[in-house]
Amino acid sequence: MRMMYSRMRRLSVILLVLAGPISAAGHSTPLTMSQLKNTKTTGVAVAEVSDYVFGNYRGDFPSPPHADLNPRKALIIFWKDFNYRFVFSHEASYCPWFELPSGAALSYQFFEGNEGWAELFNDYGRKEQNSFVDVIESGPRRVWLRWTYFGVNMQSGRSAFRGVEDFWAFPNGLILRRQQYSTLMPGQNTGYAREPIELIGMSPVGKLWFDVLAQISTGESHAFIGLDAFSDARVDIFWKRQSKPRQPFAGTSRRTGSPWKQIDDARGFAGIIPFTDGSTFVVLGDNSGFAHETTRLKEHSDKTTGGWGWRSLTWDHWPIGWLNSQAHDVDDESYKKFPSHFAPFGLDLWSLPNEQTEGRAFYSLMGVGNTDVEAIRRLARKWLENGPERAIEPDQVAALPALRVKKH
C-alpha cells in the first residue's frame, strides 16, 4: 500500500514540475526568510523557504532528529494586501497555521486517530514520507496546496489512515480547506479518525496567552468567540490570569452570551480567536459537510460541552524543544526558551460511525479579520447560504469580500 502511494506521489510531483515552478517569483530553489521579505506578488503566492523557525525559537533541534534533519523547511503562502501569512512547517509535520505580524499564530490541526493510536506529532509522523505538501497552483490568482499525511502509531510507525487536505488561497485573504481520509486498517477502530479540527493558539518565545490574546476593559483575555451564522446568537469566553505560586500562568474561565447548545446546534458557525493584531477564524456548517446534528462543538474550558476542561492550560509548543506526542506544561523557565500553545476550542464527529467519516469531504473557510466580528458573521452567512454545491466551490470563495485587517 505504501509503495503504491509513493508511486502516486512521484507522478504527482512530475506533473507539478511540468506545470511550472513551485517557488514564488520565478525562484527554482528555496528562498531564505530574508529573501521572502522582499518577494512580492500581485495577488497571492507561495514560496518554499529553507530556514523557517516559529516563534523566535533559537535553540537546537534535539535528538531524535526532527523532520528528516531539515526542520526549517516550510512552504509559506503570502498576500499582496495582507501582512499575515499561512505556514506549512516541516517541523510541525506541515500542520498549518496563520501567523500574524506579532508572531502569534493559530493552528487548525488535522484528522487525529481514534483512541490516540495514530497521529502526526511523533517521530514517524514528522518524516517526509508520512507528511508532505505538493504545490498544484502557485498564484497569483490563487494558490492550491495539497497536504498528504499518514496517521502513524507512535511506537511502531504503522499507518492507520491516509489524510488528504486541499487548501485554496485567494487574493481576498481567505482560504478554503477540504479534509478527507481513507483507512488503512479497515474494520478496526484505530484505523479511523473523527476529530478533524482544533483551534490551537500559538505564542512566541517569552510570551503566553495573556500576552497575545486581545484584552477587554476588565483586564481579562478574550480567548474565544462563537457565532451562529444565521442568527444573532453569540458566545464569548474570557480567561483571567491568576497569580498562584504553583501555577503562575493559570487562569480562570468565564463564558457569556447565548447558551452553548444554541451555538452547537447552529446550521452555520464561525469560531474566532481574537489576538491583539487580528481575529483568526474558521467557518463551517451544514452546507460545507459539517452537519450540525453530528458535529459537536467543544469549549475546552468546560467539560459539559464535551471539552477537556483545560481552561488556560499552556504547553511548550510542539514539537520544538520537546519530543512529539508528549506534553510538557509551561513553567517559569521553559516559556523563556520555547514557544507555547493553548487550545480554547475544538470539534468532533463522534456521532458519525467510522465508515461515514471515511472518504467524506469536509470543507471549512479560514481567514483573519479585525475587531468587527459581525463582518465575520456576515461573511460566514454569505458563504454558507447558497447551498452545498456553491459552498464547496473555490470560485465561490474567491468572490467573497475581503475583510479589513489593521496594518502593522
* pLDDT tens profile 188-234: 999 999 999 999 999 999 999 999 999 999 999 999 999 999 999 99
Look at residues 324, 330, 292 and name the one whose alpha carbon lies nearest to residue 310. 330
Look at residues 52, 32, 14, 5 and name the one whose alpha carbon lies nearest to residue 134. 14
Taking only the tens place, the pLDDT of each residue in 6-41 is: 444 434 443 343 333 344 444 468 999 999 999 999
Instruction: Report yes or no: 131 and 111 within 8 Å, Cβ to Cβ.
Output: no
* Three-state secondary-structure class, residue 333: coil
Whole-angstrom distance, CA of residue 396 vs CA of residue 265: 25
Give the amino acid at 50. Answer: S
Question: Which of 119-128, 131-140, 262-271 comes out lowest in average pLDDT?
Answer: 119-128
Give Cα separations from 305 to 147, 149, 200, 264, 368 (angstroms): 31, 30, 17, 9, 26
* Residues with Cβ within 8 Å of residue 48, at least 6 apart in sequence: 22, 23, 30, 31, 73, 74, 75, 76
Q: Quote the pLDDT of residue 176.
A: 98
Whole-angstrom distance, CA of residue 24 vs CA of residue 47: 5
In this predicted model, which residue has the larger pLDDT, 408 or 328? 328
Cβ–Cβ contacts within 10 Å for residue 377, how many?
25
Look at residues 279, 228, 290, 220 and name the one whose alpha carbon lies nearest to residue 258. 228
With bands split at pLDDT 50, 70 and 90, how would you rate the model's confidence at 322? low
Residues 22, 27, 29, CA angle at the centre, nearest 5°? 80
User: Is residue 356 within a helix (H) or strand (E), and if so which, with residue range?
Assistant: helix 354-357
User: Is residue 86 within a helix (H) or strand (E), and if so which, with residue range?
Assistant: strand 85-89
Q: Which residue has the cell 498549518?
A: 96
Instruction: Report yes or no: 240 and 213 within 8 Å, Cβ to Cβ.
Output: no
Q: Quote the pLDDT of residue 408.
A: 44
* Three-state secondary-structure class, residue 33: helix
pLDDT at 260 over 60: yes
Burial environment of residue 259 by CB neighbours within 10 A (0 to 12, 13 to 18, 19 or more): exposed
Give Cα separations from 60 to 55, 57, 63 (angstroms): 14, 9, 9
Q: Quote the pLDDT of residue 122.
A: 84
Q: Quote the pLDDT of residue 8.
A: 43
pLDDT at 106 over 70: yes
Instruction: Report yes or no: 105 and 99 within 8 Å, Cβ to Cβ.
Output: yes
Burial environment of residue 293 by CB neighbours within 10 A (0 to 12, 13 to 18, 19 or more): exposed
With bands split at pLDDT 50, 70 and 90, how would you rate the model's confidence at 115? very high
Instruction: Report yes or no: 319 and 332 within 8 Å, Cβ to Cβ.
Output: no
Q: What share of the chain is helix, strand, coil (3-state, %, to 5)?
A: 20, 35, 45
Instruction: Report yes or no: 300 and 308 within 8 Å, Cβ to Cβ.
Output: yes
Taking only the tens place, the pLDDT of each residue in 351-395 is: 999 999 999 999 999 999 999 999 999 999 999 998 888 889 999
With bands split at pLDDT 50, 70 and 90, how would you rate the model's confidence at 349? very high
Look at residues 137, 180, 106, 126 and name the one whose alpha carbon lies nearest to residue 21. 137
